[in-house]
Structure 1
Protein backbone atom coordinates (compact mmCIF):
# COMPACT_ATOMS: atom_id res chain seq x y z
CA UNK A 1 0.00 0.00 0.00
CA UNK A 2 3.00 2.28 0.42
CA UNK A 3 3.22 3.11 -3.31
CA UNK A 4 -0.38 4.25 -3.77
CA UNK A 5 -0.35 7.40 -1.61
CA UNK A 6 2.83 8.69 -3.28
CA UNK A 7 1.08 8.73 -6.67
CA UNK A 8 -1.05 11.59 -5.42
CA UNK A 9 1.65 13.42 -3.43
CA UNK A 10 2.27 16.34 -5.80
CA UNK A 11 4.97 17.81 -3.54
CA UNK A 12 7.41 15.07 -4.55
CA UNK A 13 9.55 15.67 -7.65
CA UNK A 14 7.92 14.29 -10.77
CA UNK A 15 4.54 13.68 -9.15
CA UNK A 16 2.86 16.58 -10.95
CA UNK A 17 4.03 15.09 -14.23
CA UNK A 18 2.67 11.68 -13.25
CA UNK A 19 -0.64 13.27 -12.22
CA UNK A 20 -0.77 14.93 -15.65
CA UNK A 21 -0.13 11.58 -17.38
CA UNK A 22 -2.96 10.04 -15.34
CA UNK A 23 -5.27 12.91 -16.23
CA UNK A 24 -4.55 12.45 -19.95
CA UNK A 25 -5.12 8.68 -19.60
CA UNK A 26 -8.56 9.26 -18.05
CA UNK A 27 -9.42 11.97 -20.58
CA UNK A 28 -8.56 9.63 -23.48
CA UNK A 29 -10.67 6.81 -22.04
CA UNK A 30 -13.56 9.23 -21.53
CA UNK A 31 -13.16 10.53 -25.09
CA UNK A 32 -13.26 6.98 -26.48
CA UNK A 33 -16.51 6.32 -24.61
CA UNK A 34 -18.09 9.61 -25.70
CA UNK A 35 -17.14 9.01 -29.34
CA UNK A 36 -18.74 5.57 -29.03
CA UNK A 37 -21.93 7.10 -27.62
CA UNK A 38 -22.00 9.61 -30.48
CA UNK A 39 -21.41 6.86 -33.07
CA UNK A 40 -24.45 5.03 -31.72
CA UNK A 41 -26.60 8.16 -31.76
CA UNK A 42 -26.71 8.46 -27.98
CA UNK A 43 -26.75 11.92 -26.39
CA UNK A 44 -23.89 13.23 -24.29
CA UNK A 45 -24.60 16.80 -23.18
CA UNK A 46 -28.34 16.35 -22.72
CA UNK A 47 -27.86 13.15 -20.67
CA UNK A 48 -24.63 13.67 -18.71
CA UNK A 49 -25.53 10.98 -16.15
CA UNK A 50 -25.94 8.36 -18.84
CA UNK A 51 -22.72 9.53 -20.49
CA UNK A 52 -20.86 9.22 -17.18
CA UNK A 53 -22.38 5.78 -16.65
CA UNK A 54 -20.91 4.73 -19.99
CA UNK A 55 -17.38 5.82 -19.08
CA UNK A 56 -17.28 5.11 -15.35
CA UNK A 57 -16.76 1.31 -15.45
CA UNK A 58 -13.77 1.74 -17.76
CA UNK A 59 -12.32 4.63 -15.77
CA UNK A 60 -12.54 2.52 -12.60
CA UNK A 61 -11.13 -0.55 -14.37
CA UNK A 62 -8.19 1.37 -15.83
CA UNK A 63 -7.40 3.16 -12.58
CA UNK A 64 -7.37 0.02 -10.45
CA UNK A 65 -5.41 -2.14 -12.88
CA UNK A 66 -3.02 0.65 -13.96
CA UNK A 67 -2.06 1.32 -10.34
CA UNK A 68 -1.59 -2.40 -9.67
CA UNK A 69 0.42 -2.86 -12.89
CA UNK A 70 2.71 0.08 -12.13
CA UNK A 71 1.58 2.23 -15.06
CA UNK A 72 2.45 5.38 -13.11
CA UNK A 73 5.96 4.33 -12.14
CA UNK A 74 8.66 6.47 -13.75
CA UNK A 75 10.02 3.55 -15.80
CA UNK A 76 6.57 2.80 -17.24
CA UNK A 77 6.40 6.36 -18.48
CA UNK A 78 9.89 6.94 -19.88
CA UNK A 79 10.90 3.48 -21.14
CA UNK A 80 9.26 2.72 -24.49
CA UNK A 81 9.34 -1.05 -24.01
CA UNK A 82 8.04 -0.86 -20.45
CA UNK A 83 5.37 1.67 -21.48
CA UNK A 84 4.18 -0.69 -24.22
CA UNK A 85 4.07 -3.75 -21.97
CA UNK A 86 2.56 -2.08 -18.90
CA UNK A 87 -0.02 -0.13 -20.92
CA UNK A 88 -1.06 -3.32 -22.73
CA UNK A 89 -1.41 -5.26 -19.49
CA UNK A 90 -3.19 -2.40 -17.73
CA UNK A 91 -5.65 -1.77 -20.55
CA UNK A 92 -6.45 -5.44 -21.18
CA UNK A 93 -7.09 -5.87 -17.46
CA UNK A 94 -8.81 -2.50 -17.07
CA UNK A 95 -11.06 -3.00 -20.09
CA UNK A 96 -12.12 -6.39 -18.77
CA UNK A 97 -12.89 -4.95 -15.33
CA UNK A 98 -14.90 -2.25 -17.13
CA UNK A 99 -16.76 -4.84 -19.19
CA UNK A 100 -17.54 -6.88 -16.09
CA UNK A 101 -18.83 -3.79 -14.30
CA UNK A 102 -20.78 -2.74 -17.38
CA UNK A 103 -22.46 -6.16 -17.47
CA UNK A 104 -23.38 -5.96 -13.78
CA UNK A 105 -26.80 -4.85 -12.53
CA UNK A 106 -25.19 -1.60 -11.31
CA UNK A 107 -24.73 -0.20 -14.85
CA UNK A 108 -26.85 -0.08 -17.97
CA UNK A 109 -24.89 -2.21 -20.40
CA UNK A 110 -25.60 -5.70 -21.70
CA UNK A 111 -22.74 -5.30 -24.15
CA UNK A 112 -22.52 -7.61 -27.13
CA UNK A 113 -19.37 -9.61 -27.89
CA UNK A 114 -18.45 -7.25 -30.75
CA UNK A 115 -18.46 -4.30 -28.33
CA UNK A 116 -15.99 -6.11 -26.09
CA UNK A 117 -13.58 -6.63 -28.98
CA UNK A 118 -13.98 -3.09 -30.34
CA UNK A 119 -13.53 -1.33 -26.99
CA UNK A 120 -10.52 -3.46 -26.10
CA UNK A 121 -8.83 -2.87 -29.47
CA UNK A 122 -9.56 0.87 -29.70
CA UNK A 123 -8.54 1.51 -26.10
CA UNK A 124 -5.30 -0.40 -26.59
CA UNK A 125 -4.55 1.52 -29.78
CA UNK A 126 -5.25 4.94 -28.25
CA UNK A 127 -3.60 4.39 -24.86
CA UNK A 128 -0.70 2.44 -26.36
CA UNK A 129 0.01 5.14 -28.94
CA UNK A 130 -0.19 7.90 -26.31
CA UNK A 131 2.04 6.12 -23.78
CA UNK A 132 4.65 4.94 -26.31
CA UNK A 133 4.71 8.39 -27.93
CA UNK A 134 5.14 10.00 -24.52
CA UNK A 135 8.02 7.70 -23.61
CA UNK A 136 9.78 8.48 -26.90
CA UNK A 137 9.26 12.19 -26.36
CA UNK A 138 10.61 12.01 -22.81
CA UNK A 139 13.58 9.82 -23.60
CA UNK A 140 16.11 12.59 -22.93
CA UNK A 141 13.95 14.92 -20.86
CA UNK A 142 14.22 15.62 -17.16
CA UNK A 143 10.46 16.15 -16.97
CA UNK A 144 9.98 13.57 -14.24
CA UNK A 145 12.97 14.64 -12.15
Structure 2
Protein backbone atom coordinates (compact mmCIF):
# COMPACT_ATOMS: atom_id res chain seq x y z
CA UNK A 1 0.00 0.00 0.00
CA UNK A 2 1.48 3.30 -1.04
CA UNK A 3 1.79 6.37 1.16
CA UNK A 4 -0.90 8.03 -0.99
CA UNK A 5 -3.39 5.27 -0.19
CA UNK A 6 -2.51 5.49 3.49
CA UNK A 7 -3.15 9.23 3.27
CA UNK A 8 -6.57 8.52 1.80
CA UNK A 9 -7.23 6.15 4.70
CA UNK A 10 -6.21 8.86 7.17
CA UNK A 11 -8.51 11.37 5.47
CA UNK A 12 -11.39 8.89 5.63
CA UNK A 13 -10.82 8.46 9.37
CA UNK A 14 -10.89 12.22 9.97
CA UNK A 15 -13.93 12.74 7.74
CA UNK A 16 -15.72 9.83 9.43
CA UNK A 17 -15.25 11.51 12.79
CA UNK A 18 -16.94 14.69 11.56
CA UNK A 19 -19.73 12.73 9.87
CA UNK A 20 -20.46 10.65 12.98
CA UNK A 21 -20.23 13.71 15.23
CA UNK A 22 -22.73 15.59 13.11
CA UNK A 23 -25.09 12.60 13.12
CA UNK A 24 -24.72 12.22 16.90
CA UNK A 25 -25.74 15.85 17.35
CA UNK A 26 -28.78 15.49 15.08
CA UNK A 27 -27.41 17.75 12.38
CA UNK A 28 -28.15 17.54 8.69
CA UNK A 29 -24.82 16.14 7.58
CA UNK A 30 -23.94 17.30 4.09
CA UNK A 31 -20.70 17.01 2.18
CA UNK A 32 -20.23 20.75 2.66
CA UNK A 33 -20.67 20.46 6.42
CA UNK A 34 -18.20 17.58 6.68
CA UNK A 35 -15.56 19.28 4.54
CA UNK A 36 -15.92 22.70 6.16
CA UNK A 37 -15.63 21.19 9.64
CA UNK A 38 -12.84 18.73 8.84
CA UNK A 39 -10.51 20.81 6.68
CA UNK A 40 -8.45 22.37 9.54
CA UNK A 41 -7.73 18.88 10.86
CA UNK A 42 -7.00 17.44 7.43
CA UNK A 43 -4.57 20.23 6.60
CA UNK A 44 -2.78 20.09 9.93
CA UNK A 45 -2.61 16.29 9.82
CA UNK A 46 -0.99 16.22 6.40
CA UNK A 47 1.39 19.12 7.12
CA UNK A 48 2.44 18.10 10.64
CA UNK A 49 2.21 14.38 9.97
CA UNK A 50 4.16 14.73 6.76
CA UNK A 51 6.86 16.76 8.52
CA UNK A 52 7.11 14.14 11.27
CA UNK A 53 7.29 11.24 8.81
CA UNK A 54 3.94 9.49 9.28
CA UNK A 55 4.06 8.41 5.63
CA UNK A 56 7.63 7.10 5.77
CA UNK A 57 8.46 3.41 5.34
CA UNK A 58 9.49 2.89 8.97
CA UNK A 59 6.15 4.18 10.26
CA UNK A 60 4.21 2.27 7.60
CA UNK A 61 5.95 -1.04 8.40
CA UNK A 62 6.81 -1.05 12.11
CA UNK A 63 3.95 -1.02 14.64
CA UNK A 64 5.99 0.51 17.51
CA UNK A 65 7.23 3.32 15.29
CA UNK A 66 3.72 3.83 13.90
CA UNK A 67 2.38 4.16 17.44
CA UNK A 68 5.02 6.66 18.52
CA UNK A 69 5.03 8.81 15.40
CA UNK A 70 1.29 8.86 14.74
CA UNK A 71 0.60 9.61 18.43
CA UNK A 72 2.92 12.61 18.46
CA UNK A 73 1.78 13.83 15.05
CA UNK A 74 -1.90 13.65 16.01
CA UNK A 75 -1.34 15.44 19.31
CA UNK A 76 0.35 18.33 17.52
CA UNK A 77 -1.92 18.32 14.44
CA UNK A 78 -5.09 17.93 16.52
CA UNK A 79 -4.25 20.84 18.81
CA UNK A 80 -3.26 23.02 15.85
CA UNK A 81 -6.49 22.03 14.04
CA UNK A 82 -8.50 23.04 17.12
CA UNK A 83 -6.68 26.38 17.26
CA UNK A 84 -7.41 27.06 13.59
CA UNK A 85 -11.05 26.03 13.99
CA UNK A 86 -11.41 28.22 17.08
CA UNK A 87 -9.84 31.17 15.26
CA UNK A 88 -12.18 30.74 12.28
CA UNK A 89 -15.23 30.41 14.51
CA UNK A 90 -13.95 33.23 16.75
CA UNK A 91 -14.61 31.08 19.79
CA UNK A 92 -12.64 28.76 22.00
CA UNK A 93 -13.94 25.22 21.47
CA UNK A 94 -15.61 23.72 24.52
CA UNK A 95 -13.58 21.34 26.68
CA UNK A 96 -15.80 18.35 25.80
CA UNK A 97 -15.33 19.09 22.08
CA UNK A 98 -11.56 19.35 22.55
CA UNK A 99 -11.37 16.08 24.49
CA UNK A 100 -13.64 14.15 22.14
CA UNK A 101 -11.91 15.49 19.03
CA UNK A 102 -8.42 14.71 20.29
CA UNK A 103 -9.34 11.39 21.91
CA UNK A 104 -11.61 9.87 19.27
CA UNK A 105 -9.31 10.77 16.38
CA UNK A 106 -6.29 9.58 18.36
CA UNK A 107 -7.85 6.16 18.84
CA UNK A 108 -9.00 5.91 15.21
CA UNK A 109 -5.83 7.22 13.55
CA UNK A 110 -3.40 5.42 15.82
CA UNK A 111 -5.44 2.23 15.84
CA UNK A 112 -5.74 1.93 12.09
CA UNK A 113 -2.11 2.92 11.49
CA UNK A 114 -0.70 0.45 14.06
CA UNK A 115 -2.91 -2.31 12.63
CA UNK A 116 -1.73 -1.47 9.12
CA UNK A 117 1.94 -1.46 10.19
CA UNK A 118 1.45 -4.79 11.97
CA UNK A 119 -0.06 -6.41 8.86
CA UNK A 120 2.61 -4.92 6.59
CA UNK A 121 5.35 -6.06 8.97
CA UNK A 122 3.97 -9.61 9.08
CA UNK A 123 3.59 -9.77 5.29
CA UNK A 124 7.15 -8.62 4.73
CA UNK A 125 8.61 -11.43 6.88
Normalising by structure 2, we get a TM-score of 0.91
**Conservation of the 8 A alpha-carbon contact between 1:78 and 1:139:** yes
The CA deviation at 1:50 is 2.7
Number of equivalences: 124
Normalising by structure 1, we get a TM-score of 0.79
Structure 2 residue 44 is the aligned partner of structure 1 residue 61: yes
Instruction: Kindly report structure 1 stretches of 4+ aligned residues shifted beyond 6 Å.
Output: none
Structure 2 residue 71 is the aligned partner of structure 1 residue 88: yes
**Could you say which structure has the greater relative contact order, defined with CA pairs below 8 angstroms and 6 or more residues apart?**
2
The CA deviation at 1:61 is 1.3
> Can you list the C-alpha shifts for 1:107-127, whole angstroms capped at 9, x where unaligned?
476520111011101011001
| Structure number, greater radius of gyration | 1
Distance in 1 (alpha carbons) for counterparts of 2:18 and 2:92: 15
Distance in 1 (alpha carbons) for counterparts of 2:91 and 2:13: 20
Secondary structure of 1:104's aligned partner = helix
The CA deviation at 1:51 is 2.5
Structure 1 gap ranges (5+)? 1-15
